[in-house]
Structure 1
Amino acid sequence: MAEHTFLLPDLGEGLVEASVLAWLVAPGDTVERNQPLVEVETAKSAVEIPSPHAGTVARLHAAEGATLAVGAPLVTIDAAAGPDAAAGPGIVGTVPDEEPPARRVRLRPPPE
């Protein structure tokens, strides 16, 4: 079982906590990478937090209305039970979403 506990990320601008407004998933739900998991509210805005892993939601670590500090456990995802399991161990989340842009090389004209 490859469980990943996702912590409340730093949402920027010196914010140290967020309140859970609404869970968009429940334990047992299958989620894809980047699928919205939860809507949280900070002192500045309400935002949806996406899943960093594909798999099955194992546990929600906070109830709606709870206030969490940045770095507190948010949700645990069992990656072995989800779509990434077919990729094999150690490969989950290592493939970029898109290819990096090609590098441009500027050639200098030969000296005259």
Structure 2
Amino acid sequence: MAELSFPLPDLGEGLIDATVLEWLVAPGDQVERNQPLVEVETTKSSLDLPSPQAGKVLRVNGEPGETINVGDELIVFEVADDSAGIVGTVPQETAPKRRVRLSANLDDD
């Protein structure tokens, strides 16, 4: 088992923080991917943040009414292995690199 931290994501439009309104999960809860975790409020709106993956909630950070900065740890999960949370792979370049030569016609007519 591994611990995986989920920071408060960038909520867009230059927002730098959010206020915790209500936790929808508690330490010890088992959550599924996309399950709502917490309701937060920004200067623009309130919204539920979904879980980025399945796992067991180990810790939540921020009491209702407390402000959390973007990038600060919001919640910590216990997950099955270290690769949890990684979605997809980076494509590898398969075609060989070709060198391209440009030539100029320098004829003086």
* Alignment match, 1:2: 2
Q: Does 1:74 align with 2:74?
A: yes
* Alignment match, 2:44: 44
Identity %: 58
Offset at residue 93 of structure 1 (A) = 3.8
Map Cα deviations across residues 64-93 of structure 1 (whole Å, 9 max, x no partner).
Answer: 11001111110001012xxxxxxx653x34
Offset at residue 37 of structure 1 (A) = 0.2
Higher fraction of helix:
1
Map Cα deviations across residues 81-111 of structure 1 (whole Å, 9 max, x no partner).
Answer: xxxxxxx653x34466xxxxxxxxxxxxxxx
Q: Distance in 2 between matches of 1:70 and 1:77?
A: 18
Q: Does 1:64 align with 2:64?
A: yes
* Alignment match, 2:12: 12
* Alignment match, 1:99: none
How many residues align? The count is 88
Offset at residue 39 of structure 1 (A) = 0.3
State the Cα RMSD in Å. Answer: 1.5
Q: Which runs of 4+ in 1 moved over 2 A?
A: 92-96
TM-score with structure 2 length normalisation?
0.75
Q: For 2:14, what is the secondary structure of its paired residue?
A: coil
TM-score with structure 1 length normalisation?
0.73
Offset at residue 2 of structure 1 (A) = 1.2
Which is higher, the Rg of structure 1 or of structure 2? 2
* Alignment match, 1:26: 26
Gaps of 5+ in 2: 89-109
Q: For 1:71, what is the secondary structure of its paired residue?
A: coil
